[in-house]
Structure 1
Amino acid sequence: MSYSYFFVLLQDMFREKFAQKELEVNHMTSYESKDVLKQAIMKTYNQYDEEFDMISEEMKDDRIEDVSRTPTENLAYQVGWTTLLLQWEQDETEGKVVHTPAEGYKWNQLGALYSLFNEKYACQSLVALRAQLKQNVLTICDMLDRMSEEELFEPHQRKWADEATAKAVWPVYKFIHVNTVAPFKNFRTQIRKWKRLKQV
Protein backbone atom coordinates (compact mmCIF):
# COMPACT_ATOMS: atom_id res chain seq x y z
CA MET A 1 0.00 0.00 0.00
CA SER A 2 1.51 3.34 -1.04
CA TYR A 3 1.77 6.27 1.38
CA SER A 4 -0.56 8.45 -0.69
CA TYR A 5 -3.25 5.76 -0.81
CA PHE A 6 -2.94 5.17 2.94
CA PHE A 7 -3.33 8.92 3.54
CA VAL A 8 -6.50 9.04 1.42
CA LEU A 9 -7.90 6.01 3.26
CA LEU A 10 -7.10 7.55 6.63
CA GLN A 11 -8.78 10.81 5.66
CA ASP A 12 -11.84 8.91 4.49
CA MET A 13 -12.11 6.92 7.72
CA PHE A 14 -11.87 10.04 9.87
CA ARG A 15 -14.39 11.88 7.72
CA GLU A 16 -16.91 9.07 8.13
CA LYS A 17 -16.17 8.53 11.80
CA PHE A 18 -17.06 12.10 12.64
CA ALA A 19 -19.82 12.58 10.06
CA GLN A 20 -22.52 12.11 12.68
CA LYS A 21 -21.02 14.74 14.98
CA GLU A 22 -20.66 17.17 12.09
CA LEU A 23 -24.27 16.69 11.07
CA GLU A 24 -25.41 17.51 14.59
CA VAL A 25 -24.13 21.06 14.14
CA ASN A 26 -26.92 22.35 11.92
CA HIS A 27 -25.84 20.53 8.77
CA MET A 28 -28.87 18.28 8.49
CA THR A 29 -31.19 18.48 5.53
CA SER A 30 -34.85 18.81 6.47
CA TYR A 31 -37.90 17.56 4.58
CA GLU A 32 -41.44 18.89 4.39
CA SER A 33 -43.04 15.44 4.36
CA LYS A 34 -42.26 11.77 3.99
CA ASP A 35 -43.21 11.99 0.31
CA VAL A 36 -40.51 14.61 -0.20
CA LEU A 37 -38.03 12.38 1.64
CA LYS A 38 -38.99 9.39 -0.53
CA GLN A 39 -38.52 11.46 -3.68
CA ALA A 40 -35.06 12.52 -2.50
CA ILE A 41 -34.12 8.92 -1.71
CA MET A 42 -35.19 7.64 -5.12
CA LYS A 43 -33.61 10.53 -7.01
CA THR A 44 -30.21 10.23 -5.34
CA TYR A 45 -30.32 6.43 -5.45
CA ASN A 46 -31.04 6.35 -9.20
CA GLN A 47 -28.26 8.86 -9.88
CA TYR A 48 -25.86 6.82 -7.79
CA ASP A 49 -26.82 3.48 -9.30
CA GLU A 50 -26.48 4.74 -12.87
CA GLU A 51 -22.79 5.43 -12.27
CA PHE A 52 -22.16 1.67 -12.28
CA ASP A 53 -23.70 1.04 -15.70
CA MET A 54 -20.38 1.31 -17.53
CA ILE A 55 -18.25 -0.50 -14.94
CA SER A 56 -17.59 -4.11 -15.92
CA GLU A 57 -17.35 -7.00 -13.48
CA GLU A 58 -13.70 -7.34 -14.45
CA MET A 59 -13.01 -3.89 -12.99
CA LYS A 60 -15.13 -4.18 -9.84
CA ASP A 61 -12.16 -4.74 -7.51
CA ASP A 62 -9.71 -2.38 -9.19
CA ARG A 63 -8.18 0.02 -6.73
CA ILE A 64 -7.21 3.54 -7.72
CA GLU A 65 -4.53 5.20 -5.62
CA ASP A 66 -6.39 8.46 -5.02
CA VAL A 67 -9.79 6.84 -4.32
CA SER A 68 -10.36 5.08 -1.02
CA ARG A 69 -12.80 2.41 -2.26
CA THR A 70 -13.14 0.02 -5.16
CA PRO A 71 -16.53 -0.12 -6.91
CA THR A 72 -17.57 -3.17 -4.88
CA GLU A 73 -16.44 -1.55 -1.62
CA ASN A 74 -18.38 1.57 -2.55
CA LEU A 75 -21.55 -0.47 -3.02
CA ALA A 76 -20.83 -2.60 0.04
CA TYR A 77 -20.97 0.55 2.19
CA GLN A 78 -24.44 1.38 0.89
CA VAL A 79 -25.73 -2.18 1.22
CA GLY A 80 -24.27 -2.46 4.71
CA TRP A 81 -25.86 0.69 6.13
CA THR A 82 -29.25 0.29 4.44
CA THR A 83 -29.39 -3.31 5.67
CA LEU A 84 -28.64 -2.18 9.22
CA LEU A 85 -31.27 0.56 9.04
CA LEU A 86 -33.91 -1.96 8.05
CA GLN A 87 -32.70 -4.37 10.73
CA TRP A 88 -33.07 -1.74 13.47
CA GLU A 89 -36.68 -1.14 12.53
CA GLN A 90 -37.51 -4.82 12.08
CA ASP A 91 -35.96 -5.82 15.40
CA GLU A 92 -37.86 -3.15 17.33
CA THR A 93 -41.12 -4.08 15.60
CA GLU A 94 -40.56 -7.71 16.61
CA GLY A 95 -39.76 -6.76 20.20
CA LYS A 96 -36.10 -7.72 19.95
CA VAL A 97 -33.14 -5.90 21.46
CA VAL A 98 -31.78 -3.44 18.88
CA HIS A 99 -28.03 -3.10 18.58
CA THR A 100 -26.81 0.14 17.01
CA PRO A 101 -24.83 0.44 14.89
CA ALA A 102 -24.59 -3.38 14.83
CA GLU A 103 -24.32 -6.22 17.31
CA GLY A 104 -20.77 -6.35 18.64
CA TYR A 105 -19.86 -2.86 17.35
CA LYS A 106 -19.89 0.57 18.95
CA TRP A 107 -20.09 3.94 17.20
CA ASN A 108 -16.35 4.46 17.76
CA GLN A 109 -15.63 1.22 15.90
CA LEU A 110 -16.87 2.21 12.45
CA GLY A 111 -13.59 1.27 10.80
CA ALA A 112 -14.08 -2.31 11.94
CA LEU A 113 -17.70 -2.20 10.82
CA TYR A 114 -16.68 -1.06 7.34
CA SER A 115 -14.24 -3.96 7.20
CA LEU A 116 -17.17 -6.25 8.01
CA PHE A 117 -19.19 -4.67 5.18
CA ASN A 118 -16.34 -5.37 2.77
CA GLU A 119 -15.89 -8.93 4.00
CA LYS A 120 -19.60 -9.67 3.79
CA TYR A 121 -20.61 -7.82 0.64
CA ALA A 122 -17.63 -6.70 -1.47
CA CYS A 123 -16.93 -10.26 -2.57
CA GLN A 124 -20.18 -10.24 -4.55
CA SER A 125 -20.69 -9.18 -8.14
CA LEU A 126 -21.73 -5.66 -9.07
CA VAL A 127 -25.00 -7.07 -10.39
CA ALA A 128 -25.75 -8.74 -7.06
CA LEU A 129 -24.79 -5.70 -5.01
CA ARG A 130 -26.86 -3.34 -7.15
CA ALA A 131 -29.84 -5.68 -6.91
CA GLN A 132 -29.52 -5.89 -3.13
CA LEU A 133 -29.22 -2.13 -2.78
CA LYS A 134 -32.26 -1.60 -4.99
CA GLN A 135 -34.27 -4.01 -2.87
CA ASN A 136 -33.13 -2.27 0.33
CA VAL A 137 -34.08 1.15 -1.03
CA LEU A 138 -37.53 -0.03 -2.07
CA THR A 139 -38.02 -1.67 1.32
CA ILE A 140 -37.02 1.56 3.06
CA CYS A 141 -39.63 3.40 0.99
CA ASP A 142 -42.20 0.80 2.01
CA MET A 143 -41.15 1.35 5.62
CA LEU A 144 -41.76 5.06 5.19
CA ASP A 145 -45.24 4.37 3.80
CA ARG A 146 -46.10 2.50 6.98
CA MET A 147 -44.91 5.33 9.21
CA SER A 148 -46.96 8.36 10.13
CA GLU A 149 -45.52 11.85 9.72
CA GLU A 150 -45.25 11.99 13.51
CA GLU A 151 -43.29 8.75 13.72
CA LEU A 152 -40.91 9.98 11.07
CA PHE A 153 -40.32 13.59 12.07
CA GLU A 154 -41.00 13.80 15.80
CA PRO A 155 -38.37 12.70 18.37
CA HIS A 156 -38.73 9.71 20.70
CA GLN A 157 -40.79 7.66 18.25
CA ARG A 158 -38.37 4.74 18.11
CA LYS A 159 -36.28 3.31 20.92
CA TRP A 160 -33.47 2.46 18.51
CA ALA A 161 -33.28 6.08 17.37
CA ASP A 162 -33.11 7.38 20.96
CA GLU A 163 -30.41 4.91 21.93
CA ALA A 164 -28.25 5.45 18.84
CA THR A 165 -27.18 8.99 19.76
CA ALA A 166 -25.49 9.92 23.02
CA LYS A 167 -26.43 13.60 23.20
CA ALA A 168 -28.45 14.74 20.19
CA VAL A 169 -32.10 13.77 19.88
CA TRP A 170 -32.65 12.52 16.35
CA PRO A 171 -36.03 11.69 14.85
CA VAL A 172 -36.13 8.68 12.56
CA TYR A 173 -35.94 10.70 9.34
CA LYS A 174 -32.42 11.86 10.18
CA PHE A 175 -31.17 8.30 10.40
CA ILE A 176 -32.83 7.55 7.08
CA HIS A 177 -31.25 10.62 5.49
CA VAL A 178 -27.70 9.85 6.65
CA ASN A 179 -27.99 6.25 5.46
CA THR A 180 -29.55 6.96 2.06
CA VAL A 181 -29.61 10.45 0.53
CA ALA A 182 -26.36 11.72 2.05
CA PRO A 183 -24.13 8.73 1.18
CA PHE A 184 -25.74 8.28 -2.23
CA LYS A 185 -24.58 11.82 -3.03
CA ASN A 186 -21.15 11.55 -1.40
CA PHE A 187 -20.28 8.13 -2.72
CA ARG A 188 -21.50 9.03 -6.17
CA THR A 189 -18.76 11.66 -6.14
CA GLN A 190 -16.25 8.97 -5.16
CA ILE A 191 -17.26 6.55 -7.89
CA ARG A 192 -17.27 9.33 -10.48
CA LYS A 193 -13.69 10.15 -9.48
CA TRP A 194 -12.78 6.45 -9.76
CA LYS A 195 -14.29 6.33 -13.25
CA ARG A 196 -12.51 9.50 -14.32
CA LEU A 197 -9.12 8.24 -13.19
CA LYS A 198 -9.81 4.80 -14.63
CA GLN A 199 -11.02 6.44 -17.85
CA VAL A 200 -14.27 4.50 -17.87
Structure 2
Amino acid sequence: MAAPNSKAELLDAISTTFTKLISDLERVPPALARTASMQGHAAGTMMSPADLVSYLLGWNELVLRWLDRDDHGEAVDFPETGFKWNQLGLLAQKFYADYQHLDWHELLSRLAATHLGLVETISSRTNDELYGRPWYGKWTKGRMVQFNTSSPYANARLRIRKWLKVIR
Protein backbone atom coordinates (compact mmCIF):
# COMPACT_ATOMS: atom_id res chain seq x y z
CA MET A 1 0.00 0.00 0.00
CA ALA A 2 1.38 3.41 -0.97
CA ALA A 3 1.95 5.97 1.76
CA PRO A 4 -1.16 8.09 2.30
CA ASN A 5 -0.99 11.67 1.03
CA SER A 6 -4.35 12.94 2.24
CA LYS A 7 -6.66 12.70 5.21
CA ALA A 8 -9.00 10.34 3.33
CA GLU A 9 -6.11 8.05 2.34
CA LEU A 10 -4.77 8.09 5.93
CA LEU A 11 -8.14 7.14 7.38
CA ASP A 12 -8.51 4.40 4.80
CA ALA A 13 -5.02 3.02 5.50
CA ILE A 14 -5.57 3.00 9.26
CA SER A 15 -9.01 1.41 9.02
CA THR A 16 -8.10 -1.17 6.39
CA THR A 17 -4.94 -2.36 8.12
CA PHE A 18 -6.61 -2.37 11.54
CA THR A 19 -9.61 -4.39 10.34
CA LYS A 20 -7.35 -7.05 8.83
CA LEU A 21 -5.11 -7.12 11.89
CA ILE A 22 -7.89 -7.41 14.45
CA SER A 23 -9.41 -10.28 12.48
CA ASP A 24 -6.12 -12.17 12.76
CA LEU A 25 -5.63 -11.24 16.42
CA GLU A 26 -9.06 -12.65 17.24
CA ARG A 27 -7.79 -16.03 16.02
CA VAL A 28 -5.13 -16.15 18.74
CA PRO A 29 -6.06 -18.73 21.40
CA PRO A 30 -6.30 -16.74 24.67
CA ALA A 31 -4.39 -19.52 26.47
CA LEU A 32 -1.37 -18.82 24.21
CA ALA A 33 -1.60 -15.03 24.17
CA ARG A 34 1.11 -14.60 26.82
CA THR A 35 3.47 -17.22 25.40
CA ALA A 36 6.70 -15.47 24.35
CA SER A 37 7.32 -17.38 21.15
CA MET A 38 7.94 -14.78 18.43
CA GLN A 39 10.85 -12.45 17.71
CA GLY A 40 10.61 -9.35 19.90
CA HIS A 41 10.99 -5.73 18.88
CA ALA A 42 14.47 -5.53 20.44
CA ALA A 43 17.29 -7.67 19.04
CA GLY A 44 17.65 -10.99 20.83
CA THR A 45 14.30 -10.82 22.62
CA MET A 46 11.14 -12.84 22.37
CA MET A 47 7.60 -11.58 22.74
CA SER A 48 4.09 -12.91 22.98
CA PRO A 49 1.02 -11.96 20.98
CA ALA A 50 -0.04 -9.94 24.04
CA ASP A 51 3.27 -8.07 23.91
CA LEU A 52 2.67 -7.36 20.23
CA VAL A 53 -0.74 -5.89 21.01
CA SER A 54 0.77 -3.95 23.94
CA TYR A 55 3.30 -2.48 21.53
CA LEU A 56 0.55 -1.34 19.16
CA LEU A 57 -1.54 -0.02 22.03
CA GLY A 58 1.43 1.88 23.41
CA TRP A 59 2.15 3.53 20.06
CA ASN A 60 -1.53 4.36 19.45
CA GLU A 61 -1.83 6.01 22.86
CA LEU A 62 1.47 7.80 22.30
CA VAL A 63 0.25 9.22 18.96
CA LEU A 64 -2.95 10.41 20.67
CA ARG A 65 -0.81 12.15 23.33
CA TRP A 66 1.33 13.78 20.64
CA LEU A 67 -1.75 15.17 18.94
CA ASP A 68 -3.33 16.29 22.21
CA ARG A 69 -0.15 18.07 23.35
CA ASP A 70 0.12 19.75 19.95
CA ASP A 71 -3.54 20.80 20.11
CA HIS A 72 -2.83 22.47 23.46
CA GLY A 73 0.27 24.27 22.18
CA GLU A 74 2.55 22.08 24.29
CA ALA A 75 5.88 20.71 23.09
CA VAL A 76 5.87 17.13 21.88
CA ASP A 77 8.82 15.05 23.07
CA PHE A 78 9.36 12.64 20.17
CA PRO A 79 9.19 9.73 20.34
CA GLU A 80 8.51 9.68 24.10
CA THR A 81 9.92 11.43 27.13
CA GLY A 82 13.08 9.62 28.17
CA PHE A 83 13.51 7.80 24.84
CA LYS A 84 15.32 8.63 21.63
CA TRP A 85 14.52 7.25 18.19
CA ASN A 86 17.46 4.85 18.49
CA GLN A 87 15.93 3.37 21.67
CA LEU A 88 12.71 2.00 20.22
CA GLY A 89 13.50 -1.51 21.47
CA LEU A 90 13.56 -0.14 25.02
CA LEU A 91 10.33 1.73 24.37
CA ALA A 92 8.77 -1.53 23.16
CA GLN A 93 9.83 -3.19 26.41
CA LYS A 94 8.18 -0.33 28.32
CA PHE A 95 4.94 -0.86 26.39
CA TYR A 96 5.00 -4.61 27.14
CA ALA A 97 5.30 -3.81 30.86
CA ASP A 98 2.70 -1.02 30.77
CA TYR A 99 -0.06 -3.38 29.69
CA GLN A 100 1.00 -6.70 31.23
CA HIS A 101 -1.85 -6.46 33.74
CA LEU A 102 -4.48 -6.67 30.97
CA ASP A 103 -5.79 -10.03 29.83
CA TRP A 104 -6.02 -10.88 26.13
CA HIS A 105 -9.60 -9.72 25.64
CA GLU A 106 -8.95 -6.48 27.54
CA LEU A 107 -5.92 -5.79 25.36
CA LEU A 108 -7.92 -6.28 22.17
CA SER A 109 -10.78 -4.16 23.49
CA ARG A 110 -8.46 -1.34 24.52
CA LEU A 111 -6.63 -1.48 21.19
CA ALA A 112 -9.97 -1.22 19.36
CA ALA A 113 -11.03 1.72 21.53
CA THR A 114 -7.73 3.51 20.96
CA HIS A 115 -8.03 2.87 17.23
CA LEU A 116 -11.47 4.54 17.29
CA GLY A 117 -9.96 7.49 19.16
CA LEU A 118 -7.35 7.86 16.43
CA VAL A 119 -9.99 7.74 13.71
CA GLU A 120 -12.05 10.37 15.55
CA THR A 121 -9.17 12.77 16.07
CA ILE A 122 -7.89 12.37 12.51
CA SER A 123 -11.42 12.88 11.17
CA SER A 124 -11.67 16.15 13.09
CA ARG A 125 -8.57 17.57 11.43
CA THR A 126 -8.22 19.24 8.07
CA ASN A 127 -6.23 17.83 5.22
CA ASP A 128 -4.01 20.92 5.41
CA GLU A 129 -3.25 20.30 9.09
CA LEU A 130 -2.33 16.70 8.35
CA TYR A 131 -0.43 17.13 5.08
CA GLY A 132 0.04 20.84 4.39
CA ARG A 133 3.27 21.44 6.29
CA PRO A 134 6.06 19.67 8.16
CA TRP A 135 5.36 18.84 11.79
CA TYR A 136 8.42 16.90 12.91
CA GLY A 137 11.51 17.56 10.84
CA LYS A 138 10.48 17.03 7.23
CA TRP A 139 7.50 14.82 8.16
CA THR A 140 3.92 16.01 8.11
CA LYS A 141 1.52 15.23 10.93
CA GLY A 142 -0.30 12.75 8.71
CA ARG A 143 2.92 10.94 7.85
CA MET A 144 3.95 10.74 11.51
CA VAL A 145 0.55 9.29 12.36
CA GLN A 146 0.83 6.77 9.53
CA PHE A 147 4.39 5.76 10.52
CA ASN A 148 3.10 4.89 13.98
CA THR A 149 -0.34 3.40 13.26
CA SER A 150 -1.09 1.76 9.92
CA SER A 151 2.54 0.79 9.21
CA PRO A 152 2.93 -1.02 12.55
CA TYR A 153 -0.52 -2.62 12.07
CA ALA A 154 0.68 -4.10 8.77
CA ASN A 155 3.94 -5.29 10.31
CA ALA A 156 2.11 -6.80 13.29
CA ARG A 157 -0.27 -8.60 10.96
CA LEU A 158 2.65 -10.25 9.16
CA ARG A 159 4.11 -11.32 12.50
CA ILE A 160 0.86 -12.70 13.91
CA ARG A 161 -0.04 -14.55 10.71
CA LYS A 162 3.39 -16.19 10.69
CA TRP A 163 2.96 -17.10 14.37
CA LEU A 164 -0.53 -18.51 13.79
CA LYS A 165 0.86 -20.83 11.09
CA VAL A 166 3.51 -22.13 13.50
CA ILE A 167 1.08 -22.89 16.34
CA ARG A 168 -1.47 -24.68 14.14
TM-score by length of 2: 0.88
By relative contact order (CA 8 Å, sep 6+), the higher-ranking structure is 2
Question: Offset of 1:144 from its aligned partner?
Answer: 1.4
Runs of 4+ displaced beyond 3 Å: 65-68
Matched, 1:174 2:143: yes
Question: Offset of 1:33 from its aligned partner?
Answer: 2.9
The correspondence for 1:88, drawn from 49, 53, 66, is 66
The correspondence for 1:53, drawn from 23, 26, 44, is 26
Which residue does 1:35 correspond to in 2?
8
Which residue does 1:142 correspond to in 2?
120
Which residue does 1:23 correspond to in 2?
none
SS at match of 1:72: helix
- Residues 66 and 76 (structure 1 numbering): CA distance in 2 closer, same or farther, change over 3 Å? closer
Which residue does 2:153 correspond to in 1?
184
RMSD: 1.9
- Residues 113 and 149 (structure 1 numbering): CA distance in 2 closer, same or farther, change over 3 Å? same
Matched, 1:64 2:37: yes
- Is the CA contact 2:18–2:153 (under 8 Å) kept in the aligned structure 1? yes
Q: Identity of counterpart residues, as a percentage?
A: 26
Post-superposition Cα deviations, 1:140-184, rounded to whole Å, max 9, x if no partner, equal 11111221111111223xxxx32xx4xxx0011111111121111
Post-superposition Cα deviations, 1:11-65, rounded to whole Å, max 9, x if no partner, equal xxxxxxxxxxxxxxxxx93335312221221111011011122223211111226
Aligned residues: 163
Question: Offset of 1:66 from its aligned partner?
Answer: 6.0
Larger Rg: 1
**2: CA distance, partners of 1:110 / 1:37:** 23
**2: CA distance, partners of 1:116 / 1:32:** 31
Task: Point out where structure 2 has 5 or more consecutive residues left out of the alignment.
Answer: 41-45
In terms of fraction of residues, the more strand-rich structure is 2
- Is the CA contact 1:64–1:197 (under 8 Å) kept in the aligned structure 2? no
Which residue does 2:43 correspond to in 1?
none
- Is the CA contact 2:60–2:148 (under 8 Å) kept in the aligned structure 1? yes
**2: CA distance, partners of 1:65 / 1:149:** 38
Matched, 1:103 2:81: yes
Question: Offset of 1:88 from its aligned partner?
Answer: 0.6
TM-score by length of 1: 0.75
Task: Point out where structure 1 has 5 or more consecutive residues left out of the alignment.
Answer: 1-27
